[in-house]
Chain A
Amino acid sequence: MRTPNTHSDRDLGRVEVKETTCYMCACRCGIRVTLRDGQVRHIEGNPQHPVNRGVICAKGSSGIMKQYSPARLTKPLLRKRGALRGDADFEEIGWEQAFELLQQRLAGIRAEDPKRFALFTGRDQMQALTGLFAKQFGTPNYAAHGGFCSVNMAAGLIYTIGGSFWEFGGPDLERSKLFIMIGTAEDHHSNPMKVALSHFKRAGGRFISINPIRTGYSAIADEWVPIRPGTDGALLLALVHEIIKQGLYDRDFLIRYTNAAELVNLDPDSTEQGMFVRFEVPKEEGCFDPQNKLWWDRDLNKPISCHTEGVDPYLLGEFKLHDGTPVKPAFQLLHERVQDYTPEWAEAITGIPAATIRRLAHEMGVTARDQRIELPIQWTDAWDNEHASVVGNPVAFHAMRGVAAHSNGFHTIRSLGILMSLLGTIDRPGGFRHKAPFPRPIPPCPKPPKGPQDVRPNSVLEGSPLGWPAEPDDLFVDEAGEPLRIDKAFSWEYPLSVHGLMHNVITNAWRGDPYPLDTLLLFMANMAWNSSMNTQKVRRMLTDRDASGEYKIPFLVVCDAFDSETVAFADLVLPDTSYLERHDVMSMLDRPISEFEGPVDSVRIPVLPPSGDCKPFQDVLIELGTRLGLPAFVREDGSRKFRDYPDFIINYETSPGSGIGFLAGWRGKIGEKFLKGEPNPRQWEMYRKNHCVYQYELPRSYQYMRNWNKGYLLWARAHGMVRYAEPVTIHLYSEPLQKFRLAARGKWDGKQPPERLRQRVETYFDPLPFFSEPLEDRLTDIHSYPLHALTQRPMAMYHSWDSQNAWLRQIHSHNFLFVNPKVGAAQGFADGDWIWIESRTSRVRCMCRFSEAVEPGTVWTWNAIGKAAGAWGLSPKADESQKGFLLNHLIDEELPPCESGEHLSNSDPVTGQAAWFDLRVKVYRTDEGEPRQSSPQFKPQPPVPGMPRRRKRWLRYFAGRKAKP
């Protein structure tokens, strides 16, 4: 026998090792791909990469099975003449034909009414380019997955602390002592979170997980705090209550760095009611918080301009200005707000014992105050005070969709931001830390278009498709205050929908509300399945036709790499390359992979040639942009500006000569500059030589307290990260929200909400966080649907796209509904039985599994494991479609009609965040004789041209041409 000692693995063929960036998920780890005779031998974590430092996850290690998956699309496809949409009956076409078709159609739309073209993208990582394309095309109808993903997290924290979890910041577990993770299963920060958690635990840190379910990360928590879904707001506000009551907050931090001490005008008759009192009246230019508010000076016992040196203002109390205007510090208002939010009150709502809530508050407060970290790092704050050290209160939090994906999520997340601020843990060691380009002003500068006038034929869109409204006038509405985007984002229905509402695009377009679309281009989004709510209905809407026989959504273009459920509904399919076959950038203009210590961006560089006739979507967009003559892609004379995507990346600048492009590293003629600088023709090569990353480490004194760190702010402005080197004060009290509220009260000069929405805006634009039950609970009969139903991401699967992966699907070939045994006992079914789960929308048959690791009022399943028969290159008999099920069928994309409207999205009323986790259900036994098969079932999707026709019975992957000796 060949003993392993006498031959080397590498003797079996010609070996090459190439580096690139993984895209089996959004985490963007660096990988090393070993090829043998041109086939993938091994994909491993790149030890030189800052994100994952050599480790890799289950998905990343299964990249081979993605690359060689039978579900790969390899040819551009056109729905056959006469074939019905949804039947997946396609003919192969060439790219030239595809481009001509698109060019013709899109040029027509652009000349007439650009907003009839909509571009929506799913779990992609190239929003800088897709967004640019949409803006150049002139359509406002563009968004990525944020709206159905976790916009509450982004908006809730960015409107509070100027940065957020998600890709924008995170917990500093290296220095933290106490870590509280809320509602997180497997985040975008997949590997780094695991690395950090393990170091943290081994260093003796205490890890608490607040989650209705105990799996994954929560499994290794020192304490599991099971909570009823949708009630975290109550818990967090009770924690705030207790922290204030015990005086466990960081007073100094609140005064210097938040608006806690700033005085709020409480004159009910004033148009300025609820606004901060300012000592300078002239309206400030630009998007920053001018430091012109007032404090109440305890020594002089009178108002004084905030941040006056040597002044110690009151945080509590009520005062009168000279003119008799009653004022209170924001902190006093917060104090009053949480007065009744006692632990006992929260116990009744959350199911967590009041004593536990108190203890948690004490653990947080005492750890923050008594385990203070002091780093000998000298820095200067925005008010020119020199600090000899950086201090930190080592309590860190992390939260994700468990709090975000509820209709009360925005305020829950504001509460979390405020709790973190009370503890004094923002951009400090051991607490929350920002990642470049954050912190940004509250809210950040870009604004959406302002009205119908901003969308004009054959013109670039005014404003950006997605932006950050700071006041009612930033909304994108018509004269009547009604929506102008197809998804109704930035309307009074969801004013701060900073990531759009992708989950309502199909429904709205189908209904023609606010108007019909002509062409919908979906990129990397499985909207006919797991990224839509009410999937059955969405599938019907995609095939629905009007009286003339025309599809209600006339032309659907899908760019995907695999035969997803959505591909079946396409009129035109554009086959994308795999992540190992294309160039990509993780750009500073989008969501880079920055570290706490400074900006980092990275690239993908192909390690394999494209399969079949695949073409990178980036190249498709640039080609289309060029053919359509969009200004960014052509020269003055209309001629082609960029050869292809790599060329575009090198040479594109945000404006001529700005020196800002997609990549931050090795700019300047010879790569001598970073962040800003002329295009460098050898930029790609330099990235390749440096493991596909560019990492900049800020001077130590710029690494903390960045909201208020003068050195950092000046640096950030100098390097084009921010427009203004102004401090970013934490908004305990949110004036932007108050402005919307004033509009709802008719006290705003500009845009006003339509009557039906006044009350809604008034309620939800509370400048202070409050607890409200999720909308679904208010509008459905929760006695009929007593249970909460949730999904969680399995660590070894990415949404819908890993079922084609022969190795990963062996780990999760189907899903069960996990229920507490008490639920089974009450309903009379046993572990493993087939049961029905029903919501007000629909019902689904599935298998149940008893679990003691779930709160008894909650049932849950793994997200997106269930598939439609025949999709994803799987046999129509595959477990995914026969035993697996999709929970999305049960979730309505719209709320039941109510006083605020007929067709409101099932979303957070502030941000439009899809409220996936508000779902209420009941479960019950199936009848004798029902098929032991999940329901609903769909007509099996046939394979499309370019996919293998026969499925292999055996798979025996061995890299390399040489047969194994």
Chain B
Amino acid sequence: MIELQSISKKFGDFALENINFEVDEGEYFMLLGPSGAGKSILLEIIAGLVKPDSGAVWLNGNDITDMPTRKRKFGLVFQEFTVFPHMSVFDNIAYPLKRLRYSRSELNSRVAELAKQFSIEKLLSRFPENLSGGEKQRMVLARTLACKPKLLLLDEPLSSVDVQLSMELRSLLRSINAQGQTIIHVTHDYEEAISLATRVAVINAGKIEQMGSARDVFQNPKSEFIARFTGVHNFFPVQLKASGNHGLYIAQLNSDINFYCYADKIAKVGYVCFSENAVVLSVNEPNQSTVNVFRGVIKEIIPQRFGFEVMVDIGTRVVSHITWEAMERLGIVEGVEIWISFKASAVRFISSVD
């Protein structure tokens, strides 16, 4: 649907270099990268707010590189709540509709419909300064979707809201995507990417380093940067089941492997991840409070700047980080059997559906 062809742009100290990707109709495409990686500029290039130095943007087979922003009919949501403070909620939502010469009654009914969809129908006569953060963000989304944009561009829309609201907005975005809306979403938060994306591109220092499904990217990071940035080597798709214990759940990887973890609410499908630092190695069966205990074989030992990364095969690969000192004390070598253990509280569950 939308395609970027070797987009380059110099911008002060940094530069976007040869960016290529294509997003299909209905996809939820996530651009993941640290701040200053050039993600926001890339979105503004797609929106037509910034002209690339070279390269082209294609929309359904047409070159739109020189098309003015207003004719592209893309929606763009910024991290800041870009409410129009001098207009009521009604006028904010009606703003794009007024550019389209709607009749008064069509306009009223479309605004009412959108307000209902985003549960802000009681706020229409209020001014943005009297709205909560979540209400503002919902109003901005309603306004952006008023004209049924061909493509929805989101620039860190969840990073200035609290956890509770972020969860609500994630589920809202998921449902908007489920209705067929194509989305390109920029974030620095890998959890957001795991939770929402159908496809992820990791961008660093102006270049795309890896692209693929969230699972591909997180399970097989192609560069050290990605591995370190995403910070999770231990990343598994799971099905969640109640354990009988309050708040504690069983995350089922396959018929042989179950992890214990805590979760707020029971969702059926998602991912678990845990830090390699949380995984403890021991020669003898551990007799501790940890609930996750497995026996496996050491497959690979990779030296790091501080200590080693140890790959243990327990039926799937789990990565542990240990120090030089621990390495010598345990006498760890490739091929020997070993116990691994980690606490249920070290395991993060991220739901991928509601």
**A and B: interacting chains:** no
B residues near A (Cβ < 8 Å) are none
A residues near B (Cβ < 8 Å) are none
